[in-house]
Amino acid sequence: MAPGITDQLLRNNERYAAGQALHEPAHPGQQKIQPAKRLAVVACMDARLAVEDLLGLQTGDAHVIRNAGGVVDEDAIRCLIISHHLLDTNEIVLIHHTRCGMLAFSDDLLKAGLEGDPAAEQLLGRATGRRFTSCHAASATPAAFHAFRGPLLPLDAPHDDQARERLQWDVRRGISAILNHPWIPTSGPDAVAVRGFVYDVDTGRLEEVEHPGPMGSV
Ligand SMILES: [Zn+2]
């Protein structure tokens, strides 16, 4: 595969981390519908991630798909299929980040709290510093919240090696989900390249996650 634009994005990120503003506001409607950099980004919704800025992207350059965690869930896959097959993107960048809220709870804990488990309510309240108010009702949807695998951390806990490992596991799960999807070609003439990163909210820097690698163990 020819060298793509992701390496250029990493050079942009170095400048961003050093304090340069890279995203320039553009008049709306002047760009083509196809992303100019043929890029799709899947990133966490965290308010501290200025995705266009930290990658040095301009209006019209990329699809930016965001959700809690930046997880490659069914909806992200849906977006990536449309992005590639209909709108001509051929590089995918996954971005998780340090201090992510998805390290601070588990799917079971959040569901129990929402359904009315008083111990879960207390734990969630303590973790977030916000009184957790149960809805006292069960629901089949969402089927999953995709909280990251591993022992829970306090919300916004300082980054450490264990958190790094957990973030890397989930980035690898995302890369793996893309590589294994039958409708996202990652070899052959129509191949899409995929790379994954952890963004450090304290330094502004991206750290690449190698794949394959450990996927975590309970
Ligand atoms: Zn996050």
Q: pLDDT tens-digit profile of 11-26?
A: 999 999 999 999 887 8
CA 163 – ligand 1 centroid, Å: 12
Q: Output the pLDDT for position 3.
A: 61
For 134-186, what is each residue's pLDDT tens digit? 999 999 999 999 999 999 999 999 999 999 999 999 999 999 999 999 999 99
CA 198 – ligand 1 centroid, Å: 10
Of 101, 97, 203, give the one whose Cα is nearest residue 153. Answer: 101
Strand partners, 209: 196
CA 68 – ligand 1 centroid, Å: 6
CA 180 – ligand 1 centroid, Å: 24
- Distance, in Å, from the CA atom of 20 to the CA atom of 53, rounded to the nearest integer, reads 9
Q: The tokens of 160 are what?
A: 């450490």
CA 1 – ligand 1 centroid, Å: 31
CA 97 – ligand 1 centroid, Å: 6
93 secondary structure, DSSP code = E
Of 71, 70, 144, 150, give the one whose Cα is nearest residue 103. Answer: 150
Q: What is the 3-state secondary structure (H, E, C) of 18-73?
A: CCCCCCCCCCCCCCCCCCCCCEEEEEECCCCCCHHHHHCCCCCCEEEEEEHHHCCC
Q: Output the pLDDT for position 1.
A: 44
Are 101 and 130 a contacting pair, CB within 8 Å?
Answer: no
CA 82 – ligand 1 centroid, Å: 24
Are 153 and 165 a contacting pair, CB within 8 Å?
Answer: no
pLDDT at 39 over 90: yes
Q: How many CB atoms lie within 10 A of CB 66?
A: 16
CA 42 – ligand 1 centroid, Å: 12
Half-sphere exposure of 110 (CA within 13 A, CB side): 18
Q: Output the pLDDT for position 26.
A: 82
CA 83 – ligand 1 centroid, Å: 23
Give the pLDDT mean for 120-144: 96
